[in-house]
Structure 1
Amino acid sequence: MSSGASDMTHHVDGKATPARLRGVPTRLLAMVAAHADRVVTEGLAREEARKWHYAVLVTLEELGPASQAELSRRTGIYRSDVVAVINELAGRGLVERAPDPADRRRNVITLTPEGRDTLRRLDALLAELQDEVLAPLTGAERDRLIELLTRLADHHARSHGRDA
């Protein structure tokens, strides 16, 4: 291999990757997203949690009690799946489900003190996991990455009629 060829490739997992592939942003996003997803999923599993658990707990803490339908919209969890997530959280005493006084046909989900404690632990864990995934970036680069990814997410959510 000539020195010019080696300048045009980078190594991923010990394998040479053509420069043209390394220049395809959507491919790079997918690769990094898959790695980040694996790191976060495995990290949360060590705490007997899942990403959807975290999303529901954060949503309830930041936006207050909500119906199951509202939680589905706010978190992006399918309505058919949000019930199972709430059942799991309620079974662990992290949320409470009670009839809505304004409409007894629907339930209102509320974060419990145990849920807040669990959320604090998960926040700390996720901070560690973010540091692991974003290790090669400086603080300013991380902020810029968040800004760019948010802009992309917002754009695509608007073009598909959803909130990011």
Structure 2
Amino acid sequence: MAGRRRSNDTTGTTSDESYRLSEQIGFILRVASQRHTALFAADMIEGLTPPQFAALAKLLEVGPCSQNRLGRLIFLDAATIKGVVDRLIGRGFVLTAEDPLDKRRRAVGLTERGHAVTQAAITAASRINERTLEPLSSEERSHLLDLLKKLT
């Protein structure tokens, strides 16, 4: 009965065999993400992971901030950002100090080495983004990014 609609007697719903996984947003986003992740892993410097790079790039952008704020800015939960920051500290890319705005918190900031690595990583990330978007025209790239931002 390939290609035919059939009724599901137990739920009263209909199964439409014309459903195409390859046309579903979640599937397409996952495949595109896998492609980008492979490019990232191949081309990113210092073995940085996407969350580590995001933390470094955001710290370069906003300057020192609390670990919790950094996590919120890059959409990571408290446990995940703690692990990311701990690994970056271990590699000498960031350090923590008393937060001048709130003595109860520790601020995370780039070290001199972290600043240099982040600058180089941003150059690599730009190449990675270019390769990810390579199949698209300039107008399509802009449109895609605008649409994806609406979903976040």
Shorter-chain TM range is: 0.7 to 0.9
What is the CA distance between 1:122 and its match in structure 2? Answer: 1.0
Partner of 1:30: 30
Aligned pairs (5 A) from 1:71-150: 71-150=70-149
TM-score when scaled to structure 1?
Answer: 0.71
Aligned pairs (5 A) from 1:38-49: 38-44=38-44, 47-49=46-48
The answer on whether the counterparts of 2:67 and 2:82 sit within 8 Å (CA) in structure 1 is yes
**Uncovered stretches (5+) of structure 1, i.e. residues with no partner:** 1-17, 154-164
Partner of 2:7: none
- RMSD over aligned Cα, in angstroms? 2.2
Change in Cα spacing, 1:26 to 1:48, as seen in structure 2 (3 Å) is closer
Higher share of residues assigned strand? 1
Percent sequence identity over aligned pairs: 28
**Higher relative contact order, chain-length normalized (CA < 8 Å, sep 6+):** 2
Partner of 1:5: none
**CA deviation digits over 1:54-85, x for unaligned, max 9?**
11112112122111111121111221121221
Please say which structure displays the higher CA radius of gyration. Answer: 2
**Uncovered stretches (5+) of structure 2, i.e. residues with no partner:** 1-17
TM-score when scaled to structure 2?
Answer: 0.76
